[in-house]
A = this chain, B = another copy of it.
Amino acid sequence: MTSGVTAVPGFVAGGIACGIKPSGEPDLALLATDDRIPATAAGVFTTNLAQAAPVQVSRRHLASGRAAAVVLSSGNANAATGEPGRHDAARMCELTALGIGVAPDDVLVCSTGLIGIPMPMDALEVGIPKLCGELAADGGSRAARAMMTTDTKRKEAVARAGAATIGGMAKGAAMLSPAMATMLAAVTTDAALERHDLQRALAQAVSETFDCLSVDGCRSTNDTVLVLANGRAGAVDVHAFTAALTEVCGSLAEQMARDAEGATKFVTVRVVGARNIAEARTAARAVADSQLVQCSLNGNDPYWGRVLSELGASGAFLDPEGVDISYNGVTVCRDGVAAAHDERAIIAALAEHDIEILCDLRQAHGEATVLTTDLSHAYIDENRRTS
């Protein structure tokens, strides 16, 4: 039984160490259709104006709406590398195309890692041809391993939509900080979908999953989510497919949050009762992004005053004296003021690893959930030096 992207019939994958990472860990992954026929393809990319070279190249190659392979490297983001960087990203596609026998335009490329450093192309000139010879129907996990940067675990997910399978793999910012050069995900399916339906399904799935994971809401230089549909399982209901794709992306997003190194908490901020979904998201994100809320969670402190303050400053409409806040079901704020509660119950609630902060704005029915973590010493230690 293979997992992730090779759980879907018709896809092969692999991963090796080619020498991008000084540590010698796996750093090059490849995913392709087993017959080399281009699949229908869609992608969602960072909205950052400072787009990494592989993002620029993949966007151009995706204009055709099809792709036969995705090559992914970790350890170097190939971002802020200018024209030489674009040349290097295009060369990675070309090397892959030569290695598996497809057109360069049918190859997409993703990179993740440090920003501002030229790609070590010597390693890739050797590594990509080598990896092309090692693609296998059970290679999904090796590919997922080779995407990792500071991730400690592979991230894979599978779901079904009718007769079709959807398989995905991802690497997170280990610290859940999209301003690193950061999250990549590749998804395969054997569902047959029209190109624009596939793009719409992906955009919707991303908006409800990866977009609800962020610490600060901004997209990094490299963020990319790709999906390849080879059509072998035939047509599927678009709604069922979108739901299953959302399930896969949601699982990958949760795995990213749970693998945040140094984090001692997996935190779900849920806002209900907002005037609409957009305001619910704005409010949930404001609470999740708050350094002070994250510090309180690190200290197991149910300091709801900070939550209320972030809600009030978020831009979402609310009556501060009509807000209720609970931690894992223990209500500590009702009508915007301190609520009587069982002290032992709240201590027990905050001692949990998984914390849900539920905020009811009591305006209407807008709901949204954002995943985050606490802020720990280890986060700082991980990010204070790049070397």
Contacts and interface: CB of A to CB of B under 8 A. Distances in A.
A351 interface: no
A337 B81 contact: yes
Interface string A325-351: 000000001011110000000000000
Interface string A218-243: 11110000000000000000000000
A179 interface: yes
Nearest to A46: B313
Interface in A70-86: 77, 79-82, 85
A121 interface: no
A306 B179 contact: yes
Interface size class of A (residues with CB under 8 A): 35 or more
A179 B309 contact: yes
Nearest to A312: B50
Question: Which of A296, A312, A320 has most chain B Cβ within 10 Å?
Answer: A312
* Copies of chain A in the complex: 2
A19 to B, nearest CB: 21
A295 interface: yes
B309 A48 contact: yes
Given A301-B385, A379-B295, A80 B50 contact: no
Question: Which of A179, A180, A303 has most chain B Cβ within 10 Å?
Answer: A179
Given A380-B377, A385-B299, A179 B313 contact: yes
B320 A50 contact: yes
B312 A49 contact: yes
A308 interface: yes
Interface of A: 47-51, 77, 79-82, 85, 114-117, 177, 179-181, 215-216, 218-221, 286, 289-292, 295-296, 298-299, 301, 303-306, 308-314, 317-321, 323, 333, 335-338, 375-377, 379-380, 383-387
